[in-house]
Amino acid sequence: MASVRREVLLDAPADAVWDAARDVGALHTRLVPGFVTDTRVEDGARIVTFANGMVARELIVDVDDAARRIAWAAVDTPMTHYNASFQVHAHGDGAHGIWIADLLPDEHADMVAGMMEQGLEAMRRAFAGEGGRVSA
């Protein structure tokens, strides 16, 4: 099983970043505008439309306010398994975000990593203009 981890530093308070991340139906307007173009909420899931045209149904596994962590699983994709989480920590006056995705088959890891990097860049822009940075 491939595991992809990406991190981002954001020039925004951790509580503000978490507030946007936990808003499961507002990816396209609050957290990663431009990377995600639409989000529709269904019972226990969200339908996410990405800028590249891909559409994914993501089951919301957990929204943990105490840990500032959200976890989800994508279903009905070419992958046989995909689960991910995004967690927000305070970092000085800003925020440190950690996105981890576990997936099968391994051949999809490069594509997923590239999409995660695009998503974190969109997040950085949404919160900080040119102030944040994305790292592997």
What pLDDT shows up at residue 76?
87
Domain that holds residue 128: 2-24+61-135
CATH number of residue 93's parent domain: 3.30.530.20
114 within a domain of the structure (yes/no)? yes
pLDDT tens-digit map of 48-93: 999 999 999 999 999 999 999 999 999 988 899 999 999 999 999 9
Q: State which H helix or E strand residue 109 sits in.
A: helix 109-128
34 within a domain of the structure (yes/no)? no
37 within a domain of the structure (yes/no)? no
Distance of CA 15 to the CA centre of its chain: 16
Q: Is the pTM of this model over 0.85?
A: yes
Beta-carbon contacts of 111 under 8 Å, excluding residues fewer than 6 positions away, are none
45 forms bridges with which residues in the sheet? Answer: 42, 59
55 within a domain of the structure (yes/no)? no
Phi and psi at 22, nearest 5°, equal -75, -15
Q: How many domains does the chain have?
A: 1
